[in-house]
Structure 1
């Protein structure tokens, strides 16, 4: 079917009603929520799998629930099947298998039926499961935008990229994209311990630096691997690190951060180091003219997956999608000890 009215339809959703710790049994609850009719560019998707990202944990623990309804639905990754489309949709038809990361200003993906703008979704890879497909969107979109939109790297780019926080979801995605698409870019990853060191090497890191080293030892290790400093630095952990970054990034280099970051980047000025922010929700929040760019890049990611050049980085796969299972997934992500991604699939 195409466009449809869903005003009388409800669907099961996992929500939070207040900022409760993950140990509280009521930190996530199940609700029946209305399914609004698809807007002109919306897809109504039957969700088969989701993943849990740090943004989910951060929102549950610190952001108030919607004051109108008393609850908010989390979730910024999904894989599922299109069951209906808005009247102006051109990229998909009912029955298409899709994957996407959704929008931060609309209800999340932790529900059976979910609306997403077609310009933010891609046809999901055919060679992986729904659960594995759900591990890709948010981290791959972020990594892609860092490399190709913020840093503007191309196949001709040559130099060294330092990935700080390389064992996380975004870092794991970035190492794979660099290995697959940037033949002249050398990657240095931060990791600690044998298992994590092997993880990043398997994803394409050419050098590994222990991020538990103190500032001077860490800088010395980076500068040994990249004499003169690195050209580009990606960080998920920038607070308090600016003096260190000013030492290890080359003059005229670039830094991209995805955390809340520092308030003072003045130490970078002397070396003319550029500071960039990356938020993969900017296109949808601002309704930018190039919103369809997220669809385009997810199509490219799917092709890389199906060609065997990019693989899922799922470390924990839980089932089914319930408040209790998602609470367990939140706990795993909040521990900061997980490698790659935590996914949850199937409904009771």
Structure 2
């Protein structure tokens, strides 16, 4: 089959960074479905893994968001069959979705929204799972919870879907961060109640929430712990999706909690509740079909080749993307 592979962590303009290749078709296990991939989106994790890939590990197939059609189901697969239109986020330890076919554990796959195209559907799985796990697994929020949630990186892929989920599924007030006019407008369109300029985070958030915020979600954590500590109320919570190696001591005096969200944890360790990801995707699909949640795709590339994927990586590398970029057939 045809796939897009990376040979080595090289600059994007190097042909070996991403190239078209013929690779063996996946050999599914009993719990796998084999999916014909119709669309993928590119996330910061794709860029990170491409840049760090070592040539000694052999060709790497990236792609961690997908939408497509099941063509084969293993003997232990329940709830999915050939012909089903599905969406998923893959397993970071297995070949990804930048290929004609991908084998995925059925417990992290769900039927895609019926009202969404493959391209629009592919923009959501990784970010929706990240946002949902942040809110409900880490922060333990429910529909009655009040207070203020600060979303650092409000116009990005995760920030866009988190804003929608938080404003529609909880009673929280949402402050998103942005600096450019277009990113501010996008954050408000996603449902944010207010937007803070992240270039002077403490002053901007203090103006909007003088008593502080209960929750911080961060896509850009490095160098920000002290600022988070200043805007948090006592016993507040921070959820980070990018990690940091700096001291968390500024959070200590407020008895604040730090949470790490890594969407691939369930699949990487085959956690006892791995099927929770399928249930989350099914719940989000229902929200999309009801019109409660909208696609976050803002750029569509009709070129499912190395050149199309390369252009998507280039857009993500600017760190100025609003919403998500999708590559489709």
Which bracket does the TM-score occupy, shorter chain normalised? over 0.9
> Who is 1:79 aligned against?
67
Q: Kindly provide the CA deviation profile for residues 160-205 of structure 1, in whole angstroms up to 9, marking residues without a partner as x.
A: 00000111100001001012211x2000000112211111011110
Q: TM-score, normalised by structure 1?
A: 0.93
> Who is 1:343 aligned against?
326
Q: Kindly provide the CA deviation profile for residues 216-266 of structure 1, in whole angstroms up to 9, marking residues without a partner as x.
A: xx3122122112210000001111111111110110000000113133101
> Who is 1:8 aligned against?
none
**Which of 2, 7, 19 is 1:12 aligned to?**
2
Asked if the contact 2:26–2:101 (Cα under 8 Å) also holds between the matched residues in 1, the reply is no
Structure 1 residues 109-188: aligned runs within 5 Å: 109-182=97-170, 184-188=171-175
> Who is 1:52 aligned against?
42
> Who is 1:271 aligned against?
254
Distance in 2 separating the partners of 1:101 and 1:249: 32
The gaps in structure 1 that reach 5 residues or longer are 1-10
Task: Give the drift of 1:31.
Answer: 1.4
**Which of 292, 304, 307 is 2:290 aligned to?**
307
Aligned: 1:206 with 2:193: yes
Asked if the contact 2:7–2:53 (Cα under 8 Å) also holds between the matched residues in 1, the reply is no
Q: Kindly provide the CA deviation profile for residues 48-94 of structure 1, in whole angstroms up to 9, marking residues without a partner as x.
A: 00000000001111122562xx2010000110000000000012011
Count of aligned pairs between the two proteins: 329
**Which of 289, 306, 326 is 1:323 aligned to?**
306
Distance in 2 separating the partners of 1:228 and 1:130: 44
Q: TM-score, normalised by structure 2?
A: 0.98
The gaps in structure 2 that reach 5 residues or longer are none
> Who is 1:295 aligned against?
278
CA separation of 1:166 and 1:180: change in aligned 2, threshold 3 A: same
> Who is 1:63 aligned against?
53
Distance in 1 separating the partners of 2:303 and 2:129: 26
Structure 2 residue matching 1:108: 3-state secondary structure? coil
What is the RMSD of the two structures over their aligned residues, measured on CA atoms?
A: 1.0
Larger mean CA deviation between 102-111 and 219-228 belongs to: 219-228
> Who is 1:5 aligned against?
none
Asked if the contact 1:189–1:207 (Cα under 8 Å) also holds between the matched residues in 2, the reply is yes
Q: Kindly provide the CA deviation profile for residues 10-45 of structure 1, in whole angstroms up to 9, marking residues without a partner as x.
A: x11100001111122331011111123321110000
Distance in 1 separating the partners of 2:56 and 2:168: 41
Distance in 2 separating the partners of 1:23 and 1:260: 29
Asked if the contact 1:188–1:206 (Cα under 8 Å) also holds between the matched residues in 2, the reply is yes
Distance in 1 separating the partners of 2:16 and 2:60: 13
Distance in 2 separating the partners of 1:66 and 1:333: 26
> Who is 2:80 aligned against?
92
Asked if the contact 1:56–1:75 (Cα under 8 Å) also holds between the matched residues in 2, the reply is yes
Asked if the contact 2:89–2:108 (Cα under 8 Å) also holds between the matched residues in 1, the reply is yes
CA separation of 1:129 and 1:21: change in aligned 2, threshold 3 A: same
CA separation of 1:66 and 1:344: change in aligned 2, threshold 3 A: farther
Asked if the contact 1:240–1:262 (Cα under 8 Å) also holds between the matched residues in 2, the reply is no
